[in-house]
Structure 1
Amino acid sequence: MKLFRVALADTKLPLGGGPNGTSPVYVRAGTVLATSFYTLHRLPSIWGSDAAEFKPERWYTVKPKPWEYVPFGGGPRACVGQQKALMEASYVIVRVLQEYSNIESRDEREWTGHVQMTSKSAHGCKVSLTQK
């Protein structure tokens, strides 16, 4: 997913320029600015050299700084459904953990991402659940 904006007036962004990205950047009126969340969420400098691999366990060690992980966008124009989506996901995870004692992947295929509005497995999700 990409986010596009057009500068309505000449402006200066406080960061992003220079050799280390800490200098200001001048932006002329009419300039189209774009960011790719897909690319941002796979930067080796943030997520490690294996950033392109599907590794949920990376969340045990990687703690992104503000604006390094923005699946719902950010600031005043962030996705209005963010809280609803997070609440629903939390509820489903808790209910599954309450009902099942073991969850195992049963898919022999390597995880392959399929990116549309969100990312998902191109093959679906084959799992085995052991009821409590």
Structure 2
Amino acid sequence: MVAMTMELDRMQLTLDEDTYRSVLKGIDPEAEASNRRWAAFIIADACILLELPRATCATAQVLLHRYYCRVPMSGHDPLVIMTMTCVFLATKIEETRRKIRDILSVFHKLLNSYYGLPDSILDINSNVHLCSCLLACPA
């Protein structure tokens, strides 16, 4: 029981500790907050299009924020990929069945609309979409 309590305490950070991690890596706290808000909006929009319950959407956003509490946003992991990963993990945690292909298709549609790109059919076997996500990511 004591080990469980210590493990849960590790997940909680104060605002100062969270900001301090970003400053140590040379990241502007305002930019990180802006990127986190952007990612939370993308997750919310994806959850609406996927018709996911609110609990699943909230779980995805919590996973994203907890990840970035421990790992500063330093550009080594594109924000778009993390948002997709958090939605996928949230569907598994909350036992909401969605295919990975559906999640990828929804994010493809969302990112095309956000960046003003024409609608196109997602080719799962192509690396073109992944490369465009990496180049267009605001992080």
The answer to whether the superposition gives a TM-score over 0.5 is no
Between Structure 1 and Structure 2, which shows a larger proportion of helix residues? 2
Higher RCO by CA contacts (8 Å cutoff, separation 6 or greater)? 2
Structure of greater Rg: 1
Between Structure 1 and Structure 2, which shows a larger proportion of strand residues? 1
What is the TM-score with the length of structure 2 in the denominator? 0.27
